[in-house]
Amino acid sequence: MIYQAATYSAPRTRLGRWLVEPGADVPDEIRPMLLASLFGTLVIFFGGVFNTIAVSAVASWRHPTAPFLLWAGYEMMLGAVRLYVLWHARHNARLGRPTHTDAYVILALMWAIGVGYGSFLGLLSRDWLIGGITTISAAAMAGGIAFRNFTAPRLCTAMVIASFGPAAIGAALSGRWELWILVPQVPIYLFSLWMAIRSLHGMLVRTITAERENDRRAHHDQLTGLVNRAGLERAITAWQHREDRKGPLAFFYLDLDGFKSVNDRYGHAAGDALLRMVAGRLQALAPAGGTAARIGGDEFVLLVPEADRGGTLGRAERVIAAIANRPYDLDNGVSVTVGTSIGIARMPDHGHDLARLMSAADSALYEAKGRGRCRAVVASGPSLRIAAQATTPRRAGAR
């Protein structure tokens, strides 16, 4: 059984989607992370389940009437179902299966309603010991809800209101004027929690967005948007840890043929534009599970997972053709062509890290340049023979 990073499926029902909606300004790429957080903070989750079961059990023991017994049974049954759904969701998330998020969200809301019902019932009982216990418990649960579920502000707000709002109604109907002080205090407390939910949610979204942007800048080339050397190292490491990999990983080291003449003739702005267009073509050539990178100047790398060795040179030929066969339209009506030579190394044949792969591919690239450029050469290595595949060389420059 192969486990992967936990991924929780989005709700399918309209109500479920509305409840977990984090906000229109939240980037799509961080929404799965916010959704997954609803299934975390297990200490708070288990504490809440235990608290409500314990409080309802004590209340029903002290008042063995139908309303209290119904509440205790409701909490026990709901607690068991919630625990099962949570376990099942976390298990399925690791396997990439549906996590029944709609059921999980609705059950959370039902639990909050049960908490609110308990405080309402406790205050109406005129047993001030039970009234105090249930009200304090409801206030504590509302705070825990705000801390655990603030990544989904709508769900969190609904749960907070459902869990502690009924206390104000119970206080108003209790027949004791001393408890009327709860009538204004409960809304004030709920409003404060709502403000805290908004603040925590906004802070988290800004923090995650900033961290992702910093990570992107650290691992991507600012000119072309391809991964840089650091990103390339991370991609190689990630590939080594993939349990579903088959065959070697081909390391294509590309150097553009004719780029310097374009850069010298038309200027650095034109050269930068050309690099971006080459990067776009290279990105389109990256296969599923592959990575396109720029490591400096006019040097690029393409990581290609290969199921067999025989297709490596064929793919290199297609890369050369895609780079060289179509012109690049620069500003002011200028059209240029460039070619590329490729040195190829393989993991694990030539090493398991970027430095060794780069060294082997660089030697092969040097040989490809010496053979006339616009060629691909596979580096020699243990039990390997040097292979080469020539394509028709193309003259680089303005047309």
At 377, give phi and psi (nearest 5°). -130, 135
pLDDT of 383 strictly over 80: no
* E runs forming strands in 201-322: 249-257, 291-296, 299-305
Q: What is the reported pLDDT for 308?
A: 52
What's the rounded mean pLDDT across residues 39-57? 92
Q: 146: helix, coil or strand?
A: helix
Residues forming beta bridges with residue 340, ordered by sequence position: 256
Q: Taking the CB of residue 176, how many other CB atoms lie within 10 A of it?
A: 12
Domains contained in the chain, CATH given: 14-217 (no CATH), 229-398 (3.30.70.270)
What's the confidence (pLDDT) of residue 243? 65
Q: Is 161 exposed, middle or buried (0-12, 13-18, 19+ CB in 10 A)?
A: buried
Spatial distance between the Cα atoms of 22 and 185, rounded to a whole number of angstroms:
28
User: For 76-103, how does the pLDDT look when each residue is reduced to its tens digit (9 = 90+)?
Assistant: 999 999 999 999 999 999 888 999 999 9
- Dump the DSSP string for 99-129: --HHHHHHHHHHHHHHHHHHHHHHHHTT-HH
Asked if the model's pLDDT at residue 263 lies above 50, the reply is yes
Q: Average pLDDT for residues 289-309, to the nearest whole number? A: 85
First to last CA, the chain: 57
pLDDT at residue 307 tops 60: no
Whether the predicted model's global pTM rises above the 0.75 cut:
no
Average pLDDT of every residue of the chain? 88
CA distances from 290 to 231, 252, 300, 313 (A): 12, 11, 13, 16
Residue 177: is its pLDDT beyond 90?
no
What pLDDT was estimated at residue 246?
66
Residue 381: what pLDDT? 67
